Amino acid sequence: NNKPRKKKKKRKTKKNSAGETVEDNDLEDIDSLLERIEDPRLAPQSQGGITADSRPLLYVEHRNLNPENELKRYFGARAVLGDQRPRQRQRQYIRSMWLTAPKNTWPRYSKTGITMQLLDTRRGVQHFTFEHHREYQQVQFKFLDAVESMDPNNIVLLLQMNPYHVDSLLQLSDVCRMQEDQEMARDLIERALYSLECAFHPVFSLTSGTCRLDYRRPENRAFFLALFKHLMFLEKRGCPRTALEFCKLILSLDPENDPLCVLLLIDFLSLRAREYTFLTRLFQEWESHRNLSQLPNFAFSVPLAYFFLSQQEERPELERSQARERAARLIQLALIMFPSVLMPLLDHCSVQPDARVASHPFFGLNAQISQSPALNQLTSLYVGRTHALWKDPAVMAWLEPHVHEVLRTVDAQDALVQEAEHKRKIRYQSAPRNIYRHIILSEMKEATAALPLEVTSQPVMGFDPLPPLDSIVSYNRPER
């Protein structure tokens, strides 16, 4: 995954008006088809055979948003597409989309009353917002009535009349998921994404990393949520690389506020997709202004990424030894900063710690009991989500000596240990709302169990979980 790929020679193709490639030859090598989608000017420049990625960190590649491309890489084109010829694969829809492929089984699309406006451009960054026109607002009011009725059939009826109403699609998808109908749940999310993409402003770009949407505006929330739910389905389907690209897209829409707190997820997807250099680059570029090492997931996942890089035999020995050193330093810092992660992690991996580790108070039960509820949510989320990546015997063999090294540091009463304890006490008083929102959306039982009463005691709506307290409201539901 981190190896530069040789570009294949490309044959010129004719384009039709819909931007779809017309092929004369049946199943030409899929990779060369994909490469035509890419703009060659944006490709990373190769320096002496090593790809130097000079593109922005959150640059999104169109081809990586399509799960079929990832499945083809794993299983080959024929396994994914079968023996159908390209002409047969063309849809009745002419409109070519980036986020999802429209299906023949979907209702015919007609304008919904959602549009997108460019609000302003500041320092090269464009701020957009979705807008609901009057007819869409009327459907939105009916939708809120349907939600309050607590009867999902009312949402089904509403969708029969308005098949591309986004919040109805999100809410019904949640209902289907609870009823174990994963296929339908996924299909409804894809339909919501299609509906929103049809409303894009002509200059709104998914890939530039410079287009922003404000989550405080209710009209924008559906886009964030549909992208998040879509990437969760992609990850479950075994498409972590595609899920990572969607995660980067969500982060690029509001990197400062990160309303769905995808920073708690991006490390896991990077590791699952084996995009180790992306994760280490994110850490290097953002640590100084975002304090990523103060999030347990970055504290543990970044050294794990360096460890995996150090195992890649195709890398030069100097690079590998630097990765080994960084992995060692960072994993020890992580264990000192977040000692409560170790025991639950070993437990999830069915690994019995040795007597010295098991009996030492530093990693013992007190480490769990003494931490604040806010920190407990973060560590529980991390262990629940990523423990499978730590199960690898090679990873455990690497971790063990560092655990013992940390115990030596603790026993020597190193100032670093007291400093970390002090930071834990003052920094994790309570979690911000976006972390609670993320935990609710993640449905990770280890973390949802740790949510505070003020969150669990209020009704949580799938189409708008924990709305921001400083919402920017452009229209209100009429009084009844």
Q: In sequence order, what DSSP letters do the residues of 48-80 get, joined into one string?
A: TTEEE--S-TT---GGGG-HHHHHHHHH-HHHH
Whether the CB-CB separation of 13 and 25 falls below 8 Å is answered with no
Of residues 50, 37, 44, the one with CA closest to residue 10: 37
Calpha distance 173→171 (Å, rounded): 5
Whether the CB-CB separation of 29 and 179 falls below 8 Å is answered with no
| Structure token pair of residue 247 | 């995660």
The three-state secondary structure class of 129 is strand
pLDDT tens digits for the chain (480 residues)?
544 444 444 444 444 433 333 344 433 444 444 444 444 344 443 333 233 467 889 989 999 999 999 988 888 877 766 655 454 444 444 466 899 999 999 999 999 999 999 999 999 999 999 999 999 999 999 999 999 999 999 999 999 999 999 999 999 999 999 999 999 999 999 999 999 999 999 999 999 899 999 999 999 999 999 999 999 999 999 999 999 999 999 999 999 999 999 999 999 999 999 999 999 999 999 999 999 999 999 999 999 999 999 999 999 999 999 999 999 999 999 999 999 999 999 999 999 999 999 999 999 988 888 899 999 999 999 999 999 999 999 999 999 999 999 999 999 999 999 999 999 999 998 899 999 999 999 988 888 888 888 898 888 888 999 999 999 999 999 987
Residue 21 φ then ψ, to 5°? -85, 130
Which string of b and e fits 133-163 if b means at least 16 CB within 10 Å?
eeebbebbebbeebbeeeebebbeebbeebb
| Structure token pair of residue 399 | 């971790």
The three-state secondary structure class of 391 is coil
Rg (CA), the chain: 24
By DSSP bridging, strand 45-47 and strand 50-52 are antiparallel
Whether the CB-CB separation of 308 and 389 falls below 8 Å is answered with no
Whether the CB-CB separation of 264 and 435 falls below 8 Å is answered with yes
Calpha distance 48→456 (Å, rounded): 55
The pLDDT assigned to 56 comes to 86
Sheet strands (E) in 144-277: 211-213
The pLDDT assigned to 461 comes to 87
Domains of the chain by start residue, with CATH: 14-89 (no CATH), 91-261+458-480 (1.25.40.10), 263-268+275-431 (no CATH)
pTM to 2 decimals? Answer: 0.86
| Structure token pair of residue 452 | 């505070």
The three-state secondary structure class of 28 is coil
Residue 171 φ then ψ, to 5°? -70, -40
